[in-house]
Structures are given as structure tokens and as C-alpha cells.
Amino acid sequence: MTLSEAGPDTEVAEAQTPAPFPETQGREKGYDKAAVDSFLAEAREAFEADAADASLTSGDVRRAGFPLVRHGYVIAAVDAALGRIEDAFAARERERALSRAGARAWVGRSRDLGQEVLDRLSRPPAHRFDRVGALRYGYRIDEVDIVADKLAAYLESGEPLTVEQVRTVAFRMQRGGYREVQVDAVLDAVVEVMLAIG
């Protein structure tokens, strides 16, 4: 149907269809709308397919990244939606694992991952992760160590901590700082443990 065939009512309806997320204004950058829309369509299809061998996992949702552009979707709004989607995938994965392997195996796997992370976080401050070269930028060591202490307290003694706090943690950069990929992997593992135990 062409625009002229659609008629004015259809044109108005399409023009009034709200964007799924607010858009950035002025010079502020946001997530590329086409990339976000494509990923969300893929996630919806994967979730509705409800296949045991899902093509998309909660980990895939957690690691999703999008190019930054002007007039893109507001980052915080998309990230909040991705958090809810990740929670839904994680809950379904937990249910399937419990029915397949049983609660004891699922808890054991989660405990092993938690212990592996705790071992890393229990290293001495300033030595918990590899560092980048002296001329390169990595995460600020003191900031990562503060967060590492909070994560360790959560894993070791159940100190209060939410998944959202871990998901939204951010660090400034410094020369010779901690290697980003290692820190991010540990944060991902903590989120995985938290979602696994529900």
C-alpha cells in the first residue's frame, strides 16, 4: 500500500505511533535506533519461540551493545528495558535447568561460579586484575577495588546488593589501570550468580 492509498487516517496513526524509547536531544548521543529495534525484535522472537536450545540467552542480552549516535534512543531507558528482558530470560533458564538437572546441581553450579568470583575478588587490593600498559587507559584501580569489596561482601556474607547496582556500575579511566575485559567479565559473572539464585 502506498502512502496515498493508505489515506489520511492511516498516516495520522503511523505518525502518532510513539517510539519505544525517548530520543536524545541536541548533541547528546544515544543508542542507534535501528540496532536497538533489531535486537529487541530478535529477543522477542527468541523468547516467544520458547525453544530449549534458545538462540539468545540472558548472557547475550547482558552483553548487548549498540553504536552511539545523535538522536538515538536514551541510553538509560534502553538499559532498563534490557535489564527486564535479561531477568525474563534468566528466570526461564533457571526453570529449565532446575527441571533438567535438579535443584542440587543448579545450586552447586551457581555456588562454584560464586566461589570462583570470590577467589578473584579476595586478592590484595591493586592486584585483583591484570593491568594495561603504563601508556594505555584502563579502569581506575581504587574505584574497582571499592566495588570488588562490596561484591565480595555480598558473595561471602550476603551483604545487601541488587542486580541493578551491579549492572549500572561505572568506572573512570586511568593510565595503567585494570584491564576492562577482566573486570567486566567478573561483573557479568556476579550478575549471573545473582540471577541464578533468584
The amino acid sitting at 151 is L
Quick one: pLDDT at residue 89? 87
* CA atoms of 91 and 111, how far apart (whole Å): 17
- Give the contacts of 70 (CB within 8 A, at least 6 positions apart): 24, 27, 28, 29, 30
* CA atoms of 117 and 154, how far apart (whole Å): 11
CB atoms near residue 141 (< 10 Å): 19
Quick one: pLDDT at residue 71? 93
Quick one: pLDDT at residue 59? 84
Quick one: pLDDT at residue 21? 93
Run means of pLDDT, 10 residues per run, the chain, 198 residues: 42 51 93 95 87 76 91 92 89 79 71 88 94 94 96 92 91 95 90 81
- pTM, two decimals, is 0.64
As a residue count, the chain comes to 198
Greatest CA separation for the chain? 70
